[in-house]
Amino acid sequence: MADLTSERVEFESRLEDYLSGFESGSSASTILASRLELINYVKAKIDEIIPEGEGVQFSEESSPNISDPYNLFINSILDETAKKTLMSAPIHVIVPTDASTQTVTADSGGDKIGYIQLPDNFLRLISLKMTDWEREVNFAITTYDPLYALQRNKYVRGGISKPVIAYSWRVISDASKRVLEYYSVDENHTIEKFLYVPETVAEDVQSNLVDAMTWFCAGMVLQIIGMGEASKTADEQAVLTYNNM
């Protein structure tokens, strides 16, 4: 198997087009200090997994720059691993965003059902409770779920005691928008509680999830360079960080 030195050469070739975009002297020609700090955390975790003498030992950078192709490589996947972290973290450790003012639209026909347009940065549901409901809902089905077909039948669909919500799409103002359909209310098409996790860039991920995020990022780097077992170890370390929260 190729060593990390040869893999580094391969990275430089893969990133040639990406690098060229930074050579124009624009304001995008440096990595923000906040992201470089995260990059250094990732490098430190890779060094921790790969014993000295078996791979590249990274030296941390003191100022933002793009001189190291690994900086660019890690920077390019940070936001992806931020998303992975927010999707996998236990709900109880995530600080949610309130979306209770989102627009609610009742379906025509008086069937006591409707939909809520999801925020553009919606990533993950925490909870939804319509005013009429006796309980909140923490999980939404999809249109492919067998339970979804039952929601169009007013005799068997969800009600105020056991409501059901489903991810779907609607055309709103001539554009396809992702929505949450709700089944069903008694009279009030109003939201009492709607909490969700927004998609965000890596540097804005809440502080108690940074350790997990940088472990996931280290795992992705190791997976891409062909170090499957080391990648698995990094992912396991990421999940273990949740146990201490």
Looking at residue 113, its pLDDT comes to 96
Name the pTM for this structure.
0.81
Looking at residue 64, its pLDDT comes to 44
pLDDT band of residue 21 (cuts 50, 70, 90) is very low
- Phi–psi pair at 50, nearest 5 degrees: -95, 110
pLDDT, average across residues 113-137: 97
pLDDT, average across residues 52-59: 52
Residue spans per domain, the chain? 4-92+206-243, 97-198
Spatial contact of 104 and 220, defined as CB atoms under 8 Å apart: no
For residue 8, what are the CA distances in angstroms to 12, 167, 212, 226? 6, 42, 25, 12
Q: Treating both helix axes as pointing N-terminal to C-terminal, what angle do 228-243 and 69-88 enclose, rounded to 10 degrees? A: 50
pLDDT band of residue 47 (cuts 50, 70, 90) is confident
- The percentage of the chain sitting over the pLDDT mark of 90, rounded to a whole number, equals 69
Burial of residue 120 (CB within 10 Å: 0-12, 13-18, 19+) is exposed
The 10s digit of each residue's pLDDT in 149-161 is 999 899 999 999 9
